[in-house]
Structure 1
Amino acid sequence: MDSITQALLGATVHTAVLGRWQGRKALLFGAALGTLPDLDVVIDYGDAVANMTYHRGFSHSLFVLSGLALLLAWLVRRLRPHP
């Protein structure tokens, strides 16, 4: 999936789930979090073949993404101003 489609999917899902609570910010948060796993393209694994082979490695694993989701949820809840 290309980056634009991944950002749109993240924005759509995030808005569907948390749009009522976060408002329009849900679009931005969803787009940013949807592209987060693809930031591993900045890691150089040595050559072009290794870069392509390892691109969908640890950053796309369910264990890493689940842990990251829990960490981000905790952080957002902690930083959210209380009414």
Structure 2
Amino acid sequence: MKSGGDMMGGGMMGRGMMGRGMMGGDTKGPAIMFRMIFALMDADGDGTISSAEFQVAHERIFKAMDSSKDGKLTMEEMLMFMHGTRSAGPQ
């Protein structure tokens, strides 16, 4: 992991996906975002994320990125997803 929690060169969600308020010193935005993500991942609502819940959430992300539906991700698919140039509708 790079310094400052900078995963994959721009955070897990990518620099382009975070609004100015979230990057410009507003500490409430990221906290709210992470609470929402946590709530979505905590499928049984027990206040913890199990390994299975974590894997299910990441499988959904993988499927959303895999625009060719071949079970593999290319750099182009990941970049398209991160830049929002591809619809990430329900899978």
Same fold (TM over 0.5): no
More helix by share: 1
